[in-house]
Structure formats: C-alpha cells, structure tokens
Amino acid sequence: MLAADLAALRAGLRVGMPATKAQALVPGLIVQDADPYADAEGLERLALWALQRISPIVAADPPDGLVIDSTGADHLHGGEVTMLTSMVQRFAASGVEARAAIADSWGAAHACARFAGRPAVVIPPGESEAALRDLPIAALRLDPGIVADLHTLGFERIGELASQPRAPLALRFGPQVGRRLDQAMGIMAEPIDPIRAPDLVEVRRAFPEPIGAAETIARYTTKLVTALCEELEARGLGAKRLDLLFHRVDNTRQAIRVGTALPVRDARRLSRLLCDQIEKVDPGFGIEVMTLAATLAEPLAAKQAISSLVEEPEADVSDLVDTLANRVGEHSLYRFAPVASDVPERSVARVPALAPEDESTWHGDWPRPPRLLPRPEPIETMALLPDHPPVWFTWRGIRRRVRRADGPERLFEEWWKRDDELSAVRDYFRVEDDGGERFWIFRAGDGEDPETGSHRWYLHGIFG
C-alpha cells in the first residue's frame, strides 16, 4: 500500500502494508493501482496553478509537495499568514487536503509542513532552528535507511542530531546528514528550479559581465519588456502578470512580480511597473541572467479609440490603478458598491477598483454619517421609552445635552442571516448637542418588547 485516505486510516489500514493484508482486514476493499506518472503530472499542474497565482518561483517537490519562494509576493496577498491560510482553503475547496508552512529555508518549511501537526504554520524569520529542534529526524529528507540507522543509535529529534560533532556522522553516513541539516537551518543555499509552463511567453538575457547597479537593471528591464511585448503582440496576447527573475552569480534567484487588472501590452507602462520594484532586488555579487515571463496572459485585441469629435472620453486610470496595486497590494485598492441591506455596516461592499461601473447608489433620504465607527460604542443615556430620543448621553467620558434630534428610523435586522437577528430591531436617531456636533446613535430594541433587543444605547457614527 502506497497511500490511504482518511476513511482507510480509520479502518486501521496503514501505508506500507501489503495489499493482501489490507484486503483481509477490510472485506470488499477497493484497491487502485498506483500511477506515479499521473501523480507527478497532477503535481505539476498544481505547481503551474501556484505559479500563476501565488509567486514567481514555484517548483514541484515530489512525491507530494510544492515548494514556493514567496519572498516579495506575500504583501500582494495580504501578509504571510493570510496568504498561507487562503492557499490551504483554496486547496480544500478543490478537494485537496493540504498542509503548508512558511520558514526561512526550503528544508525548514518542508519539515514544518509535514511534522508540525497544523494545517498552516508560519515560522518567524530567524526562528527556524528553534522550530526544528523538536521535530523527528524523519523530517530532514534523509534516505529511509539512514533514518533507521540513526534511530538504532538513539537519535530521535533533530535537535539531538544537530548538537553532535559532524565528523563522526559524516564518516559513518556520508555527507548527506550534514548537508540536509545545513539546508534546513538555512546555512547552505538550496536554489529552487522554477517550473515553466510549456507555452509561456518568456524572454531572457545573459550578461557577459555580472550587473548590479539599479540603473543598469532598469535599462535591461526596459529592453526585456520591449522584446516581450513584441512576442505578446505576435500572439495577440496581453500580460496580466509578469515575473522578472534575476539569476545571481552565487546561484540564487531573486524575483519580482507585478500584476495588472486588465491585460496590457504597453511596453512603457509595464517597464514602469517593473522598475518601481527594482529597489526590492538585492543583486548581491552581481546578476548573470535576467528572465522575464508573462506568467498570466490573456487575449488582447486591438480596439478602436473613440474619436474626440463624438465625445470626450473619460481618462483611463487603469495604469494608475496597476501602479498603486503593485505598491500597496491588490486588497488595499477598492471601490465601495451598494448592497441591498438595511443594516448600515452591511450596506457597503468592497469591489475591485476596476470592476464594471454602474450608476447605482444607496437609496433612502435619511442622512448618513461620513464616519462610521468600526463597531458601535455603548453610551449612557437618559431617554423616555418607547420612542423618544435621549435627553443627554455620555460618550467617551463627555456628557452632552441633546438639543435637537431626528428619529427614530427603525431598522430591522436580517433574520435570514443569523438566528439571533430574528426579531432584532435598531432605532436610529440623529442627535445634535449644544455645540452643534451631530451624532448617529441607536437603541437596540424597539423600546417595548425585550425580544427585540437589549434596549441599550450605542453611538454608531459621527455626522459632519
């Protein structure tokens, strides 16, 4: 037996068991032949998927893993933790149970993903050694024979092995143990050979002398982009994601990735996006080869420009949106769109900045405050029930007398969303204090029926 799913494990089957024994244990067991070639192909497909969506440097790590160099890519996904959990969730949504880890080195991440026991692990920089210490030595990617021999000698954890003198270990087991330890601790570099899609649009330039100055990199970036755009034009494509890979003389790779909201083939605009990111590249002792690939390309047909005689077109801001999105991250650039909901905090949704526009807006004439508190803050009030505004209220330690008030505006919460909103009601008032400051306050409940809410008062927004 080479693999077993959760149901099989529950039935007491283990990997490594002879198939006949398994069939004897579970009558009517369905056994499928292992197909390592199809497995490898599937892994390759997953790697390509990750290449297009997550990071420019991705490789399959057979038999069951992917290795991703996420340096410089995590901010586009909202930070390392968010990136990792959303990745695991996306795999889960497509039926693949995945465990993931981020660490300083390939070895450490490999070990933590398989042996840390949690679906998503982020090891902070510099703490790989501490994280690895308690993991079993099987996490080190050693040959099974060596692992068994080490067990015989009494080694269980990586920490025990790491504190041993190297020479006797090397004498007995060869160089593999020391190399794997160094790779896991990040002492020895382990470059990732990134996977490439077969029909990838890619241009490459090798330098006779390594380059390092930012201006030189920028100049060659522009040349590469021009060449890539010609290639894209020949195929009728536009780039949505570009990866620029730098192969350094010390055999490590650095990458920068830029994305655009719509397919683009404009060399000036693309090189501007890439040159914006050059400061993030550490050329080290020099860069030998630069490779530029359009990882995600979509058909882009030439289109006719609107004549200025007909009407003056509204200026195109998609290039600005791309520049800003690559700088602050796609999630930090958005528009608000109306949602048909009476509950104020649910009435707005964030949509991508270049989402198709419509003229829709919010309905209703009741004034809304320009500032909405992230969550309503409780206030102390004195008010006549059931539907009078407060006479005074205290918010953040300041007592204010209510001079004028408008309301109540009764909002029913959404019973179809949650059970405790079944009969919940909010009565909103717009109140003005002596100094003219205007606030949006509400009472949870209709003032009569305790079923509808706690009858406590909250401040929800500030009017201008």
Partner 1 sequence: MPKPVVSSIAELRERIQRLEGGAGRARKVLPFGLPQIDRRLPGGGLALGCLHEVAGGGNGAVDGAAAALFAAGVAARTRGKVLWCVTRQDLFAPALAQAGLLPGRVIFVEAGDEKALLACMEEGLRHGGLGAVVGEVARLSMTASRRLQLAAEGSGTIGIAVRRWRRATEVADFGQPTASVTRWRVSVLPSEPLPVPGVGRPRWLLELIRCRAGESADFEVESCDAQGRIALFSEMAGGSPQTESGRRRASS
Among positions 396-435, residues that touch partner 1 (CB under 8 A) are: 403-406, 430-432, 434-435
CA distance 84 to 82: 5
Measured from the CB atom, the residue of 25 and 353 that comes closer to partner 1 is 353
Q: How far apart are CA 200 and CA 243, in angstroms?
A: 11
Q: Which of 114, 157, 368, 410 binds partner 1 (CB under 8 A)?
A: 368
Nearer to partner 1, 140 or 333 (CB): 333
255 C-beta neighbours (distance < 10 Å), count: 21
How far is the C-alpha of 271 from the C-alpha of 224, rounded, in Å? 9
**358 near partner 1, rule: CB under 8 A:** yes
At its nearest, how many Å lie between partner 1 and the CB of residue 410?
A: 16
- Tell which one of 61, 243, 319, 427 touches partner 1 (CB under 8 A): 319
* Chosen residue from 33, 209, 311, 316 binding partner 1 by CB under 8 A: 316
From CA 122, how far away is CA 106, in angstroms rounded?
Answer: 13
Check residue 188 and report its DSSP letter.
S
Give min distance, CB of 347 to partner 1, in A: 7
Q: Is residue 338 close enough to count as binding partner 1 by CB under 8 A? A: yes
Three-class SS of residue 227? Answer: helix
Shortest reach from residue 392's CB to partner 1, in Å = 16
C-alpha to C-alpha distance for 63 and 31, rounded to whole angstroms: 20
Q: In 67-175, which ranges are continuous DSSP H helix? A: 80-93, 106-115, 128-133, 144-153, 158-162, 166-173
Count of all residues that appear for the chain in the document:
464
User: Which residues, 6 or more positions from 419, have their beta carbon under 8 angstroms from its beta carbon?
Assistant: none
> Should residue 330 be labelled a site residue for partner 1 when binding is judged by CB under 8 A?
no
The encoded tokens of residue 229 equal 């755009």
Q: Which part of the chain contacts partner 1 (CB under 8 A), choosing from 14-22, 300-308, 368-376, 378-386?
A: 368-376
Q: Taking a C-beta distance cutoff of 8 angstroms, is the pair 147, 139 a contact?
A: no
Binding pattern to partner 1, positions 186-225, x when CB under 8 A? ----------------------------------------
- 369 in contact with partner 1 (CB under 8 A): yes
Would you give the DSSP letter of residue 394?
Answer: E
CB of 283 to partner 1, least distance (A): 24
Q: How far is the CB of 146 from partner 1 (least distance, A)?
A: 47
For residues 381 and 383, give the distance between their C-alpha atoms in angstroms, rounded to a whole number. 6
Q: Tell me whether residue 182 or residue 406 sits nearer to partner 1 (CB atom).
A: 406
Interface with partner 1 (CB under 8 A), residue from 380, 437, 449, 451: 437
Residue with the two structure tokens 């000698």:
153
Residue ranges binding partner 1 (CB under 8 A)? 314-317, 319-321, 323-324, 327-328, 332-338, 344, 347-348, 353, 357-362, 367-374, 403-406, 430-432, 434-438, 461-464
